[in-house]
Amino acid sequence: MKKVIVLGSTNVDTILNVQRFPQPGETLAMDGRAVAGGGKGANQAIAAVRSGAQTAFISKVGKEGAADFMIDTFKKDGMNVDHVRCSETAGTGQAYIMVDAHGQNSILIYGGANQDVTVEDVHEAETAIKAADRIVAQFEVPIPAIIEAFKIARANGVQTILNPAPAIKNIPTELLAVTDMIVPNETEAEIITGIKVTDEASMQANAEAMFKLGIKVVIITVGSKGSFYATPTATGFVPAFKVNAVDTTAAGDTFIGALSTKLELDYSNIEAAMTYANKASSIAVQTKGAQNSIPYEKDIQL
């Protein structure tokens, strides 16, 4: 069983179902509205624990009922929430997600308590970080906290996985220096390298550019097509499973959480782990919502 620790965001998602996205100045009626747990960090932690990892979570929430709802959800899945703290100044993060009739989404984020995650919070979780096999982080919490967590991990032989989302153009070199694996989607990859992802050759060019930044392993996810990988010794493409997607929210998070659970620390089973993660993601997109759509290991049959 892998020991995975996730540093990241906790949000409460408000999902707005529409036939199509409105144009500027246009008013449209919604087909439906729902509220559910979300946040990239929380989604990835839930995906990891549901795929069998011993999972701990470093995050921050407010002090309202939304926070209690989220923490209860984490506990039901058996997640270690010892390092989910309460902010003294901000409410629990919120996401407003529009999903169209084809399952595509557009998302607006209110950071809230997620922006209060500090280096001190990371230090309080230092023992948990040292005990993990790998740590996963994204950009919905402040980057100084991620850098500190990855430095602690690197100093203690803990593998680091960065999901550079939401994308930023100039990732601090201090963070890249302590990142073992990076997992962007095609848009995020282009923002990092300036190289548009159009085919496998351009994915390889992206990977080579990221290698020059100090990254050891690169995985680029390309939605319904699948995912590309490049290690120091091998490259390849793992196709996605063909399904009828109704909501792509949390698809990428499900992939990363599932991958972090199944991938060996020496990357020796990278194609098998990516196949499993693709399968988990393909199941998630067939249900509306984020965390409620993330499958359990028993449901991911290859």
pLDDT digits (tens, 9 = 90+) for 99-114: 899 888 888 888 999 9
DSSP for residue 287: S
Which 3 state secondary structure label does DSSP give 150?
A: helix
Which 3 state secondary structure label does DSSP give 107?
A: strand
Please report the pLDDT score of residue 130 as a whole number.
Answer: 98
Please report the pLDDT score of residue 35 as a whole number.
Answer: 85
Across-strand partners of 34?
A: 15
Reported for 63-71, long-range contacts at CB under 8 A and 24+ positions apart, including other chains, are: 63/87, 63/91, 64/91, 64/92, 66/12, 66/91, 66/92, 67/10, 67/92, 67/113, 69/12, 69/37, 70/10, 70/12, 70/37, 70/42
First to last CA, the chain: 19
Please report the pLDDT score of residue 97 as a whole number.
Answer: 87
Residue ranges at the known binding site for substrate = 11-13, 39-43, 140, 253
CA-to-CA distance for 42 and 217, rounded, in angstroms? Answer: 24
Do the Cβ atoms of 250 and 284 come closer than 8 Å? Answer: yes
Nearest in space to 42 (alpha carbons), one of 254, 221, 238, 241: 254
Low-confidence ranges of the chain (pLDDT < 70): none
Please report the pLDDT score of residue 109 as a whole number.
Answer: 84
Q: Which two tokens mark 115? A: 């922006």
Among residues 180, 253, 266, 299, the one annotated as catalytic is 253
- List all residues 6 or more positions away from 286 whose beta carbon is below 8 Å from its beta carbon: 243, 244, 245, 246, 293
Residue ranges at the known binding site for ATP = 185, 221-226, 252-253, 278
Please report the pLDDT score of residue 253 as a whole number.
Answer: 96
The one-letter code for the residue type at 288 is K
The one-letter code for the residue type at 97 is I
Please report the pLDDT score of residue 290 as a whole number.
Answer: 78
Residue ranges at the known binding site for K(+) = 247, 249, 284, 287, 289, 293
Do the Cβ atoms of 288 and 34 come closer than 8 Å? Answer: yes
Q: Which two tokens mark 236? A: 């390849």
Q: Which two tokens mark 220? A: 């680029």
User: In the chain, which ranges are continuous DSSP H helix?
Assistant: 40-50, 65-76, 119-124, 126-131, 143-155, 173-176, 186-193, 200-212, 251-262, 270-284
Please report the pLDDT score of residue 160 as a whole number.
Answer: 98
Q: Which two tokens mark 68? A: 């209690």
Please indicate whether residue 253 is annotated as part of the active site.
yes
Domains, the chain = 3-293 (3.40.1190.20)
Residue ranges at the known binding site = 11-13, 39-43, 140, 185, 221-226, 247, 249, 252-253, 278, 284, 287, 289, 293
